[in-house]
Each structure stands twice: as structure tokens, then as C-alpha cells.
């Protein structure tokens, strides 16, 4: 508490100092459009209490483009015009800076102090590369320590001196501003004698930090409640950070930390369009959800169930689905939503075209407030996801999802020079949620939300998912970045995870059964009984007969799919000794059965036994391992019962796969030595009992229907 009070008092003193010094400082910048980069610049200036005047707002930009990167003369023209009203203010200090790719890292007090320490009338930023005319390199004066070349993205000086600096400008809007300033700097007479500029460069990045060619110099310095960018090479703390040239993405990374417009703990400070004040369904924004199933995907039934369970009124949701569709979802639930459009396999629409169509549906609908893109491999468990993302009030935002216990996620923290993945310094901390907040990132995929008004303005281009040889997701991010729209990722909440699709087999009737290795968490959710955890703690383990234990293990879905898989295979044994020998000779009394290895499920079943049966058996019968597993079928006209016998095991598990009284009548198990019978096995529950010597038992007759049990011999 004392430290908090101290920090608050220190912050107040800094603010008072800034207010006192800000009277003699004016920040001029050029911004013809209010891009996200400009808004970030303005927020950082407001955070540190800078007084800003924006030049050229809403004016057509004629200062050059990507085809002529050496332009910028329009900025000089606008500056020259603005300085006329300040020409006689000898005490006024003016900072001229870029805006789209600039951040303030400290306040006016520190800026003015460092400027006056430079003992010059005008101070320009400095950088490692000469631009735009390399022929002028020889004319630059040598530098003993620091960067040698002038950068025009930021400079500071007294108002009269800056007026003299630009008064000779007679160039065109698309001429090079940097070349103009460079020629003045390289002319000693103009620099010192004629106009008395006394112009110098900020060689050691005390005021300006240009990132181009200097990324290895800059690190983040964390101290108390602040973060500063520190230049390791010169041991300086720059006041202004400029992501010039190809370093804009690195500035986005630094902008996640400086200034602290938001904190790791609380995310955005103010959400202008939050939902908490809205009442009534009609007041809520309308959302179009685009669902993409681009390849065979496990656990689709759970995916659509989670979609239905999102806490958002279905009458404010439209659905667009591309490719493989679960007919049951569309047929049974389409009327619940505001609208539903399906593009199936017969439409032969490619991935990129389908994604363009989904966004276009929102773009062309003036009532569409948000577009939410969701790939089927995303396991979205947070039912409040839509509301959370809307409340962040960002143009494009993604919730963090990653593969279970892996670093694979739906975002990149940085890009390589060729535009592909590069790991940022904080990537692992963000994925593992050791750093929590709202993050400006260069790439997102799989699940994200886009504002409808952004699709109708900055992102009004109809084709966002094509870009040379890039994949659809990479092309989308590339095109969004090129339009100056920031993409954000939030990990302030737990949202879910991403399925692994690499080893998904499609040759079975119920392919999800084989996913216990690739997607264990989702396998457990679908197939393991909801009360298994209680059984593991000993709360639901019953003992209906001496040394016979009974506990829940499988869901109804697991039981049904295992039975259906066996019937689909269909090659049941005939119940003679020949079958027993073929299956390994473990059955003392042969049964009508199909072994797990016959359907290629032995490895998965063994994994199930190790993960779910072993933890319980270790408490009841410690020291044994599982060997054999099969599904037995009992029918009145086939094999209704099983004669008394000892199992060829130390102990046995016997899982009921269907329901007595509904699927069949009769059945059960009788332990002869104890004259104890279990006549109503519960579906999904397993009996665990000793095999050899003590628990001589028989299968009671099945009188009607078909009874299925899954049997495993432990330590045969």
C-alpha cells in the first residue's frame, strides 16, 4: 500500500511538471486520415499531456505512396503554413513528428530537458541508414559516437528557427522531405551562419529512437509501474519511438507496453461501446458468425453444441456455414437464429472465396455490426466470448486459443523479413498467460471478430483472402496490415483451445473414438462420464459384492459409438475354441465377441485403460497392468449367458455398453462363491472384480434384446 501511495504521488508530481512545461511546447504532426496508428499516437500524447495540433486532417494525401517511397513534401508544405502563426514566439518550442508510426515514451518535462541539454536551436532525429540519396554519404560530417545520418521523421526546435528551416521550400507535395532537410544539414553555411539554425542530430537517441536498422539496440525496461524503451548501445531512454521504414510491426510490439494506456491486469481502460449499459435484445449488436469446416474435423457435434450455448441472443445472430455441414444442426436449429446460409460441398467454393463471401455478407448488410469468423477446429468454451470481444472495442480482435499443453496458437507475435512466422520475445508468456492483456499482433487466424463498419470503410476491398502465393489466413492479415488496421489478441480470459487435425482418421464409423492421443481433452469431454472425477476420489465407488467395485466410466455416447463400431465391423466370433485361439487364447470360456485389435482400436483402448482405469485400480489392486480387451454380445438366440468360470486374469473390468430394461432384458453377473448377483448393470459403469481363484462367476441369461459389455483382462 505504501508503495502504491508513493507511486501515485510521484505520478501526480510528474503530471504537474508536465502541465507547467507544456505551456512552452507545441507538437505538430501531419495526419490526413485518422488511422489506428494515428489514434494510438494521439492516445499516447494525451497520456503524457502533450498539446497537439494536427495538420492536413481530411486533406487528400499527395505526398507519395509505396511506388515512390521518397515522397513526403506535403508535410513540409503543411508545416511551413502552420509555422507562420508562431514565427514571433521566440520561447515556443515546437516538436514536429510523424504520427502513424510514432509513440511517446515519456512526457514534456523530459523532452524539453533533453532538448535544452543539446544546446542547439534545432535537433533532428538520427539513424544508421542514409536515405534517400546514398551519394551524399561522403558529405556527412564524421561522428565520433552515435548515428551519423539525418532522419526527417522527428525534429524539435524553437518556432522562429523552424520557420527559417522551411521557408525555402518550393517543392512539390510528392518530393522528398528528407532530402530537403538533408541538403540543409549538409550545407554548413545554411546550417549555422545564414539562417542561424544551429542544427544538430540526436546521435545517441536521447530524444528520438528510429527503429530502422536499430532493432538490436532497443529493449524494454520494466521498472515499478512503467515500461521504457531503452537503447542498450548508448544507454539512453528515448522520449519518442519511431517505427520508420519496415519496422512498423516492431513499433506495434513496443506499443503493447509503452505507454501504459492499458495494463496487463485490466485490459482496456475505457470501452466506448460496451454492452453492460445496453438493455433489451434489440439493443444488442447484430453479429454474423462465419463457420468454416475446411477439412475433416473431429468432435463436430460438440462444436455445434458450444455454438448453440454461446450466451448471446440467437435472434441477434446470423449464421454462415461453409463446406461440410451437420444436417442435424441446420435442420433442427436454423429457425432459432435470425438467418442461416449454408455453402455445402456441392457448391464447390474454395476456402478463400468462401471467407470473402462471409465477410461480404456482413459488409453489404447495414445492420451487421460485427463479423465473427470461427473455424471448426476451435474449441470455444467461454460462453461469453462474443460479449467480451465486443466490449474491447477494437476493429479486429481475436481471443487467444492454443493447442492443449502446446505453444501452437492462433496468433504470431512477430513476422520474419519475408512475412512468415517469427517468435516474439513475449510469445510464450502470452500463450501461457504469464502476461495478460490486449496485444497488437501482426497475424491472427482461426477465430476473430471484425467490426462491420470497418468492413464497410478501411476494409471495403471485396477480396481480403487472396495475396499472391499466401494462404488465405496470411493473405487476410497481410491485407489488413496494408490498410493500416491493427489486429489485436486478448488473453484476459480463458477462451478455449485448438484441435489437432494432423492424425485424424476418417476410415471408421465413429472417427472421434480414435482421438484419445491427438486430442485427449476433447476425447475425455465426449467419452468419459461426468462423474468420473468423483469416482477417482472414491466418492462414487460402490461395492455391490465382496471385492467387486462399481463406478462410472463412460458417457452414453461412448457406449453407443463403441457398440455401433463393433456392429459396423460385424465379424463376431462364433464362440468356439478356435476363435479363442485366434484372439490370443485368453478366454477360458469363449464368447460371442469382437476384440479391439480387430477394429484397430487396441492401442487407443490401452491408452484409455492407462489414463482412466489405472488411476483407480492402483488404489484398489495396485501393481497390475492391462493386456486384453474385447466387446461381448449376448442375445437370446445366439449366446444368452455364460457358464460359470474364472477369468484368465488377476482382475477384470466389465463395462456395460447399453441399458437394461430398454435395450435388453435379463443379463447381469453372479458370483457363485458369495451367491451375490448384479442384475441391473448401469450403462457406462464398470464392474471391477478379481479374476483367478476367488471370483468364480457366470453371465446371467439375457432373455430379450441384445446386451453388450466391454471386457478387459488385467494382468492375464
Domains of the chain: 1-208 (3.90.550), 287-498 (3.90.550.10), 511-714 (2.60.120.620)
Residue 627 has pLDDT above 60, yes or no: no
Per-residue pLDDT tens over the stretch 188-245: 887 764 446 688 999 999 999 999 999 999 999 887 778 899 999 999 999 999 999 8
Whole-angstrom distance, CA of residue 456 vs CA of residue 579: 69
Sign of CA dihedral 342, 347, 350, 356: negative
Helix axes 73-82, 159-166, angle to 10 degrees: 130
**Coil, strand or helix: which one is 209?**
strand
Split at pLDDT 50, 70, 90, the class of 279 is: low
Greatest CA span in the chain, whole angstroms?
116
Residue 15 burial (CB count, 10 A): 14
Per-residue pLDDT tens over the stretch 62-86: 998 766 678 999 999 999 999 999 9
Task: Specify the pLDDT at position 13.
Answer: 55
| Residue corresponding to grid cell 519496415 | 246
Of 230, 355, 403, 707, the catalytic one is 707
Residue 14 has pLDDT above 70, yes or no: no
Per-residue pLDDT tens over the stretch 292-310: 999 999 999 999 999 999 9
Q: Is 707 a catalytic residue?
A: yes
Per-residue pLDDT tens over the stretch 283-294: 899 999 999 999
Residue 450 burial (CB count, 10 A): 27
Report the candidate in 159, 180, 155 with the shortest Cα–Cα distance to residue 169. Answer: 180
Per-residue pLDDT tens over the stretch 335-391: 999 999 999 888 889 999 999 999 999 999 999 999 999 999 999 999 999 999 999
What mean pLDDT comes out for the span 579-608?
A: 77
What mean pLDDT comes out for the span 429-451?
A: 96
Query: What's this model's pTM, rounded to 2 decimal places?
Result: 0.88
Residue 258 has pLDDT above 90, yes or no: no
* Residue 54 bridge partners (DSSP): 29
Report the candidate in 334, 491, 337 with the shortest Cα–Cα distance to residue 411. Answer: 491
What mean pLDDT comes out for the span 27-32?
A: 97
Residue 553 has pLDDT above 90, yes or no: yes
- Contact between 202 and 125 under an 8 Å Cβ cutoff? The reply is yes
Per-residue pLDDT tens over the stretch 118-136: 999 999 999 999 999 999 9
Cα 697 to the center of its chain, rounded Å: 55
Residues whose CB falls within 8 Å of the CB of residue 472, separated by 6 or more in sequence, listed in order? 351, 352, 355, 465, 466
- Contact between 714 and 650 under an 8 Å Cβ cutoff? The reply is yes
**Coil, strand or helix: which one is 340?**
strand
Q: What percent of the chain has pLDDT over 70?
A: 89
b (16+ CB within 10 A) / e for 277-311: eeeeeeebbbbbbbbbbbeebbbbeebbebbeebe
Split at pLDDT 50, 70, 90, the class of 496 is: very high
Whole-angstrom distance, CA of residue 392 vs CA of residue 270: 9
C-alpha cell read off for 397? 480482435
Amino acid at each position: 500500500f505504501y508503495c502504491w501511495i508513493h507511486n501515485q504521488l510521484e505520478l501526480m508530481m510528474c503530471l504537474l511538471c508536465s502541465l507547467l512545461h507544456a505551456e512552452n511546447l507545441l507538437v505538430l504532426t501531419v495526419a490526413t486520415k485518422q488511422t489506428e496508428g494515428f489514434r494510438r499516437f494521439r492516445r499516447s500524447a494525451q497520456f503524457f499531456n502533450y498539446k497537439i495540433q494536427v495538420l492536413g486532417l481530411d486533406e487528400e494525401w499527395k505526398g507519395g505512396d509505396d511506388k515512390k517511397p521518397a515522397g513526403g513534401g506535403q508535410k513540409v508544405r503543411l508545416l511551413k503554413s502552420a509555422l507562420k502563426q508562431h514565427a514571433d514566439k521566440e520561447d515556443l518550442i515546437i516538436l514536429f513528428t510523424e504520427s502513424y508510426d510514432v509513440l511517446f515514451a515519456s512526457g514534456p518535462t523530459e523532452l524539453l530537458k533533453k532538448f535544452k541539454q543539446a544546446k542547439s536551436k534545432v535537433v533532428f532525429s538520427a539513424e544508421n541508414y542514409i536515405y534517400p540519396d546514398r551519394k551524399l554519404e561522403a558529405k556527412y560530417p564524421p561522428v565520433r559516437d552515435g548515428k551519423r545520418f539525418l532522419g526527417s521523421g522527428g525534429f524539435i526546435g524553437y518556432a522562429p528557427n523552424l520557420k527559417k528551416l522551411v521557408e525555402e521550400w518550393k517543392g512539390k507535395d510528392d518530393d522528398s522531405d528528407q532530402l530537403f532537410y538533408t541538403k540543409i544539414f549538409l550545407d554548413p553555411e545554411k546550417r549555422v551562419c545564414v539562417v542561424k539554425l544551429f542544427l544538430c542530430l540526436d546521435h545517441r537517441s536521447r530524444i528520438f529512437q528510429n527503429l530502422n536498422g536499430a532493432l538490436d539496440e532497443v529493449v524494454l525496461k520494466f521498472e515499478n509501474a512503467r515500461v521504457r524503451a531503452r537503447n542498450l548501445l548508448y544507454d539512453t531512454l528515448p522520449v519518442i519511438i519511431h517505427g520508420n521504414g519496415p519496422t512498423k510491426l516492431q513499433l506495434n510490439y513496443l506499443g503493447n507496453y509503452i505507454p501504459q494506456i492499458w495494463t496487463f491486469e485490466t485490459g482496456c481502460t475505457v470501452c466506448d461501446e460496451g454492452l453492460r449499459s445496453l438493455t433489451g435484445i434489440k439493443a444488442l449488436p447484430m453479429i454474423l458468425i462465419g463457420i468454416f469446416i475446411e477439412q475433416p474435423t473431429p468432435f463436430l457435434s460438440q462444436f455445434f453444441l458450444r455454438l448453440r450455448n454461446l450466451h448471446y441472443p440467437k435472434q441477434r445472430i446470423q449464421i454462415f456455414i461453409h463446406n461440410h455441414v451437420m444436417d442435424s444442426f441446420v435442420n433442427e436449429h436454423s429457425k432459432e437464429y435470425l438467418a442461416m446460409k449454408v455453402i455445402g460441398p456441392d457448391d464447390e467454393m474454395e476456402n478463400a472465396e468462401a471467407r470473402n463471401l462471409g465477410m461480404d455478407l456482413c459488409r453489404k448488410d447495414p445492420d451487421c455490426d460485427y463479423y465473427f469468423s470461427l473455424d471448426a477446429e476451435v474449441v470455444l468454451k467461454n460462453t461469453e466470448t462474443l460479449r467480451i470481444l465486443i466490449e474491447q472495442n477494437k476493429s479486429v480482435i481475436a481471443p487467444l486459443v492454443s493447442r492443449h499443453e502446446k505453444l501452437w496458437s492462433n496468433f504470431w507475435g512477430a513476422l520474419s523479413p519475408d512475412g512468415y512466422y517469427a517468435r516474439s520475445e513475449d510469445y510464450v508468456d502470452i500463450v501461457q498467460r504469464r502476461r495478460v492483456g490486449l496485444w497488437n499482433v501482426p497475424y491472427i487466424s482461426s477465430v476473430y471478430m471484425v467490426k462491420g463498419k470497418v468492413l464497410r470503410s478501411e476494409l471495403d476491398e471485396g477480396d481480403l483472402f487472396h495475396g499472391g502465393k499466401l494462404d488465405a489466413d496470411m493473405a487476410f492479415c497481410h491485407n489488413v496490415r496494408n490498410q493500416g488496421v491493427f489486429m489485436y489478441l486478448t488473453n484476459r480470459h480463458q477462451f478455449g483451445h485448438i484441435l489437432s487435425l494432423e492424425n485424424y482418421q476418417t476410415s471408421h464409423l465413429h472417427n472421434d473414438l480414435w482421438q484419445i492421443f491427438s486430442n485427449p481433452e476433447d476425447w475425455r469431454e465426449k467419452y468419459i462420464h461426468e462423474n468420473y472425477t468423483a469416482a477417482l476420489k472414491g466418492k462414487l465407488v460402490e461395492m455391490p459384492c465382496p471385492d467387486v467395485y462399481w463406478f462410472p466410466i463412460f458417457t452414453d455416447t461412448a457406449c453407443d459409438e463403441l457398440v455401433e463400431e463393433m456392429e459396423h465391423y460385424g465379424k463376431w466370433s462364433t464362440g468356439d475354441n478356435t476363435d479363442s485361439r485366434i484372439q490370443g487364447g485368453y478366454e477360458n470360456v469363449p464368447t460371442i465377441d469382437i476384440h479391439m485389435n480387430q477394429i484397430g482400436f487396441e492401442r487407443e483402448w490401452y491408452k484409455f485403460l492407462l489414463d482412466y482405469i489405472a488411476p483407480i485400480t492402483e488404489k484398489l489392486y495396485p501393481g497390475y497392468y492391462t493386456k486384453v480387451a474385447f466387446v461381448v454380445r449376448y442375445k437370446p438366440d445366439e449366446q444368452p449367458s455364460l457358464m460359470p468360470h474364472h477369468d484368465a486374469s488377476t482382475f477384470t473390468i466389465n463395462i456395460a455398453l447399453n441399458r437394461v430394461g430398454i435395450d435388453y432384458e435379463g443379463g447381469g453377473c453372479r458370483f457363485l462363491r458369495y451367491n451375490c448377483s448384479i442384475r441391473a448393470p448401469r450403462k457406462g459403469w464398470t464392474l471391477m472384480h478379481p479374476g483367478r481363484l476367488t471370483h468364480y462367476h457366470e453371465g446371467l441369461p439375457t432373455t430379450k434384446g441384445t446386451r453388450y459389455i466391454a471386457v478387459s483382462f488385467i494382468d492375464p
